[in-house]
A = this chain, B = another copy of it.
Amino acid sequence: MGRWEPNAEQRFLVAAIELFKEVGFEGTTVAAIAQRAGLTARTFFRYFTDKREVLFKGSEQLQQTMVDALAQAPADASAIDAVAAALATAGEFFTAERRPYARVRHAVIAANPELHERELIKLATLSVALADALRLRGVQEPDASLVAEAGIAVFRVAFGQWIADAEERAYGEIVNEALVRLRTLASL
């Protein structure tokens, strides 16, 4: 097996998610993932620490992309509009072709308390990162934390809608609508 396989990471991701769907997360071994991907377990460990890592790969990138979008929002944008820019840019990750993957991933995480906890930690970390970025824009506390947490609230709900079975609207449309809706509800 050659040292550099083309698209190895993507092949592992697809193989893993297929197996998680077919035999469950617990029943899936790294050896089986590698076999399905037509690669070796040794190559797998060049990309991932373990099979859990497959589910959380990309979350640092997502966070950095959102933080960058928040930082680059126009200087006169309100705190909530800066967070809106961060929420919108996450659409780069939540494309139509990734939706089936996201649905399986969500089902796996929902069924496994340890993975669910890790997902909650990732969201809490994202909230802190958005609040930090807001403070760098000059937003004071508690405003920065309140708006960052509210942004995460919108993000969680919109993401849940996006991966729902019958849902066909794009993430960008859903998250924008959810934010507008929360702003309306907050004024009632």
Contacts and interface: CB of A to CB of B under 8 A. Distances in A.
Contacts of A153: 146, 149-150, 152-153
A146 B153 CA distance: 6
A187 interface: yes
Interface string A145-164: 11101101110111011000
Contact of A181 (B78, B118, B146, B188): B146
Nearest to A187: B187
A80 B150 contact: no
B146 A154 contact: yes
A178 B146 contact: yes
A52 interface: no
Interface residues of A, number: 34
Interface in A71-105: 78-81
A186 B183 contact: yes
Given A120-B117, A145-B160, A185 B154 contact: no
A143 interface: yes
B187 A186 contact: yes
A124 interface: yes
Contacts of A42: none
A32 B153 CA distance: 41
List the 7 closest pairs (A to B, CB-CB), nearest first. Answer: A149-B153, A186-B186, A117-B117, A78-B188, A120-B120, A183-B186, A145-B157
